[in-house]
Amino acid sequence: MELPTYFDDFRIKTQPTERQRKVMSEEHIKLRELLAKAPELKDVLLGTFIQGSQRRATSLIGSAAHPCDVDVVAVTNLPRSRFTAAYAHKLFQPFLERHYSGRYKAQDRSWCITVDPEVTLDLVPTSEPDSPQVREAVRSMKALRDWSPTFQTLSEAVKAEARDTADWDRTEPLWIPDRTLQIWERTHPLYLIAWTAKKNQSCSGHFTHTVKAVKWWKREIQPNPKYPKGYPLEHLVGDTCPDAIKSVAEGLTRTLESIAANYRGHAARRETPFLQARGLMEPQNVMKRVEGSDFAAFHANVESAARLARRALDAQDIHESASSWRQLLGPEFPAPPSPGTGGYTPREKPTQLSEGRYA
């Protein structure tokens, strides 16, 4: 059974809390204001914008072990022909030392800033955009610069994202520094935002919730192997979730079944599949950091999860269905009904369906 009200309750329990959203909103605004005023960056920084799972509405509730993170992209005017990736990455360290001393650390493509036990910011520098259109947009376009929607529902937000980012062309990616490889690497966060919003529309608003359900299952129920996780896992869901799904339950079941069927050969060979990065013309595998042995172990977990999800979806009894979904997704999924409750689990308070997004 699809049990939509049960999945609504599950979604609310696993999305960022109101406090976490408030911290994310205040802290990303503070960081961007500090960057804009930094004297050592005034001749270098073109502008900033938000990307990542928060922007794509695919983030989960944060914890000390798994904090919420907001990606702040800092677009510079540094030409790749004159400045190395390592230089661009280190350029922001004096700023971070002054404002976030003891709370930041270098990552391969960003600086991670801890602003709360349950919230981090990822500062992602870029080189000068190749496209004059992108350079101008970073300076002036509200869809990039501000991103402060006042929507009360996710459906309104993703429709606006699809509209506002509809004109970004595949050939206009940004370049970010890879600290480990010491190279500039292409990425297209603008395209990912638009792609996700459009995919969500084609899935009747259920795609982002399906992504979050799969990510929750991976993070909380089957954390080993560690990879794939994060965006590579989200990308995999995007490649396998069918369009026109009618519920999160259907999307979750059919996505798990598609992953199991489509990559059974890769798992048997202990081989990582090639998943082309969205918005890029040249080959780039978003799964390149996932070892073949890890993918095989992950696939085995998916096979089992797909069977359990199918059993839950096909069950004709609410108790059997809810019990199976709870077995798949953990105690955050509502418990099955108790005898004498008329087929519904008693709730301590009404379900709140509003899904605001931080500004």
Contacts of 88-93 with C-beta under 8 Å, sequence gap 24+, read 88/125, 88/126, 88/127, 88/177, 89/125, 89/177, 89/179, 91/41, 91/44, 91/125, 92/41, 92/123, 92/125
Q: Which residues contact 129 (CB under 8 A, 6 or more apart)?
A: 46, 75, 135, 138, 172, 174
How far, in Å, CA of 73 to CA of 187, rounded?
Answer: 11
* Catalytic residue selected from 122, 130, 239, 294: 122
* Catalytic residue selected from 9, 43, 69, 178: 69
Is residue 78 a contact partner of residue 92, using CB atoms and an 8 Å limit?
Answer: no
Of 25, 230, 226, 15, the C-alpha closest to 116 is 25
Of 257, 253, 289, the C-alpha closest to 273 is 289
Edge-to-edge strands, sheet with 45-51: 45-51, 68-76, 119-126, 111-116, 104-106
* Catalytic residue selected from 9, 71, 116, 164: 71
The question of whether 69 is a catalytic residue gets the answer: yes
How far, in Å, CA of 283 to CA of 100, rounded?
Answer: 37
| Beta bridge partner(s), residue 111 | 106, 123
DSSP assignment, residue 190? Answer: H
Query: How many Cα atoms sit within 13 Å of 244 on the Cβ side?
Result: 0
Provide the b/e sequence for 70-96 (b: ≥16 CB within 10 Å): bbbbbbbebebeebebeebbebbeebb
Residue type present at position 247: S
The question of whether 122 is a catalytic residue gets the answer: yes
Helix 189-202 vs helix 154-164: angle between axes, to the nearest 10 degrees? 130
Of 352, 322, 350, the C-alpha closest to 337 is 322
Is residue 46 a contact partner of residue 75, using CB atoms and an 8 Å limit?
Answer: yes
Is residue 241 a contact partner of residue 255, using CB atoms and an 8 Å limit?
Answer: yes
Catalytic residue ranges: 69, 71, 122
